[in-house]
Chains A and B, each alone.
Chain A
């Protein structure tokens, strides 16, 4: 009976719960879903991480390749994130080129990397102007239950923080670059990590944290805040939709800060 009511009147169904300050899945308005993080799940990748945020399940695999740096930035390498959302994760996705939604999610990750400068790209330079590391991070969504931004960011940054760069030596005799397998590889230097928190605005007035898929569909707008645990904000991204008062923004900032502390602890604890 409840399931039929939910499919015919999703908004009213949801409203009845919100009026009692609770959501259909039992969470309060400011509660996150349970987050599980594991690393090293893909053996063939240079680094990998799997994230389960409620039912949103995705994994990030990183592959290192050597390439030529651009002329504008001859001493910097590249990090190329790519989110793949196939029909496997949700029926609304069709095979083929990424939709505008996927491209926006991809761009969000890229913006976070650039804004926060969490990874100094000069570490990826092998020889200035000639050789640099390209980090290809493929994030495959296996099950989509909303909030792709937060989950994919956690997977990406965890995989990057566990990545080890091999040493490249230049062999004078053969005039070629060789991989030095004997020296221990070093981890990438990672600056303070920002954590992304997404909010959805229900009925133009009520802010809910960590929306699942059903909540994303019935709300008009989302707000994503990326903040480090020391309070440095890297992104406040709100793309149209219902208006938010300044005081509500302040509350969201503080909730995002609390979340940042929890997630950094989770990333540090994970082996």
Chain B
């Protein structure tokens, strides 16, 4: 069943993550799907799998994951390929692919509205859709985007909007696992100092913990609704 809106922003960590809204089972023909709203940015994800794959793509010991992500950009460049590789590798870390040998798992992601922090919205939506699909996962992966402003004394902006991203000298996307909060994925644009990156790491980790709590809440609510 649909999950509807979730709003558990409390006073302390209100500033860490934007308003999160997630719906499961939005697509009827997929094995798992989710639509994810992160502030004004929204993404839709559909998962098919485990399914049959061609002999050439089959792997004997694990499942072959294929990602198709549409970022809604006008020009298609190698950048989209690199972001797809990042999303694919993150998915491979999350899913216990050894459970499904000689099969394929297809993930389709579609950007609905981009108001900044799009890579983290994609990865968070992927996590939610994987929860809905029931595939075996080692842990959840949560993604946080930080914007590092030009001025060295200004604080780091968590989940910057499109306008805020343009004013930042660099944008850092970090992904953490939900068990040990280790850095699973890191992708940066622009230039920054080591100190700024370490600040971004610390703040992202707090935001990541908050996000994991929200995801767990959403999971519990949706399973309560189903039963």
Chain A residues near B (Cβ < 8 Å): 100, 103-104, 106-108, 110-111, 114-117, 220-221, 223, 227, 231-246, 249-250, 253, 257
Sample of 6 more A-B contacts, CB < 8 Å, known A100-B85, A106-B78: A107-B81, A115-B188, A240-B89, A244-B182, A246-B183, A246-B201
B60 at interface (Cβ–Cβ under 8 A)?
no
Whether the pair B190, A115 counts as a contact (CB closer than 8 A) is yes
Q: Is the interface of A mostly helix, strand, loop or mixed?
A: mixed
Whether the pair B186, A108 counts as a contact (CB closer than 8 A) is no
Chain B residues near A (Cβ < 8 Å): 78-79, 81-82, 85-86, 88-93, 170, 172, 176-177, 180, 182-194, 197-198, 201-202, 205
Whether the pair A243, B183 counts as a contact (CB closer than 8 A) is yes
| Chain A nearest CB, measured from B226 CB (Å) | 30
Whether the pair B186, A240 counts as a contact (CB closer than 8 A) is no
- Assuming the A-B contacts A107-B82, A237-B188, are A253 and B89 also in contact, with contact meaning beta carbons closer than 8 angstroms in the complex? no
Question: Inter-chain contact count A-B, CB under 8 Å?
Answer: 104
Whether the pair B82, A108 counts as a contact (CB closer than 8 A) is yes
Q: Specify which chain A residues have a CB less than 8 angstroms from the CB of B186 in the assembled complex.
A: 223, 236-238
Q: Specify which chain B residues have a CB less than 8 angstroms from the CB of A114 in the assembled complex.
A: 189
Q: Across the interface, name the chain A residue whose C-beta is closest to B204.
A: A246
| Chain B nearest CB, measured from A104 CB (Å) | 5
| Chain A nearest CB, measured from B119 CB (Å) | 12
Q: Across the interface, name the chain B residue whose C-beta is closest to A228.
A: B191
Whether the pair B188, A233 counts as a contact (CB closer than 8 A) is yes
User: Which one, B78, B176, B185, B188, contacts A240 given CB within 8 A?
Assistant: B185
Q: Across the interface, name the chain A residue whose C-beta is closest to B86.
A: A239
- Assuming the A-B contacts A233-B192, A236-B172, A240-B86, are A103 and B183 also in contact, with contact meaning beta carbons closer than 8 angstroms in the complex? no
Whether the pair B177, A243 counts as a contact (CB closer than 8 A) is yes
Please list 21 pairs of residues, one from A and one from B, whose beta carbons are closer than 8 Å in the complex, sorted by A's number.
A100-B81, A103-B78, A104-B81, A111-B79, A111-B82, A114-B189, A232-B191, A232-B192, A233-B192, A236-B188, A237-B188, A239-B86, A240-B91, A241-B184, A242-B182, A242-B184, A243-B176, A243-B184, A244-B182, A244-B183, A245-B182
User: Which one, A106, A107, A116, A249, contacts B183 given CB within 8 A?
Assistant: A249
Q: Specify which chain B residues have a CB less than 8 angstroms from the CB of A233 in the assembled complex.
A: 188, 191-194, 197
Q: Specify which chain B residues have a CB less than 8 angstroms from the CB of A242 in the assembled complex.
A: 93, 182, 184
Once the chains are docked, how many angstroms separate the CA of A245 from the CA of B189? 21
Whether the pair B89, A115 counts as a contact (CB closer than 8 A) is no
Whether the pair B193, A240 counts as a contact (CB closer than 8 A) is no
